[in-house]
Chain A
Amino acid sequence: MLNAGIPMEAFLVVSTLMFFAGVYGFLTRRNLITILMSVELILNSVNINFLVFNRFLYPDKLQGHFFSLFIIAIAAAEAAVAIAIIINIYRHFNTINVEDVDKMRY
């Protein structure tokens, strides 16, 4: 086993730090694409948590594995739609800074 000798808490601490780095980026960034990147970081840390819990606590089951598989698929769909919206916003306003995009009227 490759994870022999490594405590479960070590993985959880890494994913926690990644989650809160994403939260910091979400709060401070003003560009839509960098906000999207912060959301990807948050989703990714959640995936790590699911897989770690599945491996260390319930190695006889598959739930965590499949949950993170479906999260990845949803994240891909979400990124595609978000980027379509961002490109449309850029066509309308010529900027993707959230502070300058204050009219959602078509």
Chain B
Amino acid sequence: MEITVNHLMFGLFAAMIMVFSILTVTTRRILRAATFLLLVLVATAGLYFMLNYQFMAGVQLTLYAGGIVVLIIFSILLTSHISQKFEPVGWKKAYFSALASIAGAILCITTILQHKFQATTEAAKEIDMKLIGNSMLSTDRDGYALPFEVISVLLLAAMIGAIVVAKRKKLKE
């Protein structure tokens, strides 16, 4: 099999995802964990570009890598000391958690590799911004107007809820 630029790019992104996602959950400094999470999310956006979903890659970069990671870093700065190191995980807990995760991963990977996936023979549709916008607001069979409206209500509720929860309570007289 010939090695192409695609293979190299995929290998780079896959290696970044694997290494940094494991470092995210094992590092003992919290700010480093947030940085590794950011790198995982950026590499995931690279995978979306490789799948030709440019819009999803852009959303991934702005919302996940831009929004959520910044939110997480802010809350880290509000709640912990930068130089603080976590206690090392007890060996029993680490051992059994690793055992459960590795067993689950092996099970899933063998299932994936054994299953014969049936691809449809329809012609591929190129997903561009016009198609995304039209189907987001259409009420036809392939339209997503209802979930779009529902999620806008959900975002409003989450925004109000977050403000109410985080608001400082008034001191009682």
Contacts and interface: CB of A to CB of B under 8 A. Distances in A.
Interface of A: 1-6, 8-14, 16-25, 27-31, 33-34, 36-38, 40-41, 44, 47-48, 51-52, 55-62, 65-66, 68-70, 72-81, 83-88, 90-91, 96
A27 to B, nearest CB: 4
A20 B105 contact: yes
A79 B68 CA distance: 7
Given A27-B101, A31-B86, A40-B64, 18 more contacts: A12-B112, A16-B109, A17-B17, A22-B21, A24-B101, A27-B100, A33-B72, A33-B75, A37-B25, A40-B72, A59-B122, A62-B125, A69-B59, A83-B72, A84-B165, A85-B165, A88-B165, A96-B80
B21 A2 contact: no
B51 A41 contact: no
B51 A5 contact: no
A28 B122 contact: no
Given A16-B109, A21-B25, A51-B48, A37 B41 contact: no
Interface string B45-61: 00111111100100110
A85 B87 CA distance: 24
- Size class of the contact patch on chain B: 35 or more
13 contacts: A2-B9, A3-B52, A4-B6, A18-B17, A19-B105, A25-B24, A40-B37, A58-B120, A59-B123, A65-B132, A70-B147, A70-B151, A72-B64
